[in-house]
Amino acid sequence: MKRQLAVLLWILSSTAALTAQKPLSVGGATAAPGQKASGWIEIPDAADPGTRIPVSVVHGARPGPVLALVAGTHGYEYTSILALQRLLPRLDPGRMSGSAILVHMACPPTFYGRRIYYGPDGKNLNRMYPGKADGTISERIAYAITKEVIDKATHLADMHCGDGNESLRPYSYWMVSGNEVVDAGSKEMALAFGLDHIVIDRQRPVDPAKSVYTATTAILRGKPAITTESGGMGLTDQASVAAQEAGAMSLLAHLKILDGVPSARATSPVWIDRSEVVRTPATGVWHPSVEKMQSVASGALLGRVTDPFGKTLHEARAPFAGGVLYVVATPPVSEGEPLAMIGHVSEAAPVR
């Protein structure tokens, strides 16, 4: 009898341990189980001025995966910032098994400064990971997001669109790292998010100390992750914002944080098995001759870079036959910067 009581007590206490969630804190936002909270990740002044990153924590009443949704890594990419504003009131932590961390705006200085690509320190946040505690502002933001968001999540979606100068068709990146379990998880996330083109990227870094990108930082820490692209040109069109919002909801259902089916899941996506960003060798004035979604033959003219007087400095051509995933659609271009991204459509779905 005594032994039976001991067993019963053990079962009760272990069940309680399973269901009793601790509060979840990200920066200054702390949510008890079944609650949501918003606050800031403070980035103090250092070599250059600091900032504060707005975050929300939606902490499920029951345990489960923790999905980080990162918006505004590039501050002129508005669709994800608006999508997370719409998502927050829709999430009921009382009905969630697991949690969501919403980074509403990863790089406020680029948003409020209306900056394309680069922060006030001249650095691209999505090239700075895992960041530096004592670096310049982009490096300090990357460091804080690594520690406060990525380390606390089990899955991550870094939500982008074409930057303020980029005309882009929607697609996700499936980044293949060589870790089969993580790669399978990332692939399922790309399908669940629902954008109908998926770029297979096998060229990402493999050293966690030099992970460079937001999503790669998660992947190299054993957490499935994707990068999404929907919208561009500084627009806030309904279709592009809604695709980000629906994709995030679908991911939460896919991970079983929310009940229901992943409603946006792509059933027959177009897989891009080869892609290349075509860059300009010269600073100048860009005259594109293609549009997003257009099919191009190998060697087809993508556009011309001229000097300020109109003399051609460079003709950009398609490196192989494929489709235009994005094209820079405003005139200023600086040496080494993108002009367009071309993707080749795979004949078949990838085995892995």
Site residues, Zn ion (CB under 5 A)? 74, 77, 160
Residue type, 42: E
Min. distance of Cβ 239 from Zn ion in angstroms?
A: 18
Nearest CA among 92, 83, 87, 18 for reference residue 58: 92
Q: Which is nearer to Zn ion, 160 or 197 (CB)?
A: 160
Q: Which is nearer to Zn ion, 74 or 155 (CB)?
A: 74
Based on the number of CB atoms within 10 Å of its own CB, is 66 exposed (0-12), middle (13-18) or buried (19 or more)? buried
Min. distance of Cβ 132 from Zn ion in angstroms?
A: 21
Query: How many C-beta neighbours within 10 Å does residue 240 have?
Result: 24
d(CA 112, CA 87): 22
Min. distance of Cβ 80 from Zn ion in angstroms?
A: 9
Min. distance of Cβ 267 from Zn ion in angstroms?
A: 27
Min. distance of Cβ 335 from Zn ion in angstroms?
A: 20
d(CA 254, CA 252): 5
Q: Are strands 35-43 and 51-59 parallel, antiparallel or unpaired?
A: antiparallel
Q: Which is nearer to Zn ion, 163 or 255 (CB)?
A: 163
Residue 120's SS3 state is coil
Q: Which is nearer to Zn ion, 154 or 165 (CB)?
A: 165
Q: Which is nearer to Zn ion, 31 or 329 (CB)?
A: 329
Min. distance of Cβ 280 from Zn ion in angstroms?
A: 18
Q: Which is nearer to Zn ion, 77 or 245 (CB)?
A: 77
Min. distance of Cβ 161 from Zn ion in angstroms?
A: 7
Pure H helices in the chain? 2-19, 79-90, 108-112, 137-148, 180-193, 214-219, 238-254
Q: Are strands 197-201 and 270-279 parallel, antiparallel or unpaired?
A: parallel
Q: Which is nearer to Zn ion, 74 or 304 (CB)?
A: 74
Q: Are strands 171-175 and 197-201 parallel, antiparallel or unpaired?
A: parallel
Q: Cβ contacts of residue 91 below 8 Å, gap of 6+?
A: 36, 58, 100, 252
Q: Are strands 225-229 and 155-160 parallel, antiparallel or unpaired?
A: parallel
Query: Would you state the structure tokens that stand for residue 47, as one six-digit string?
Result: 């070599």
Nearest CA among 168, 141, 173 for reference residue 269: 173
Q: Which is nearer to Zn ion, 74 or 169 (CB)?
A: 74
Min. distance of Cβ 273 from Zn ion in angstroms?
A: 22
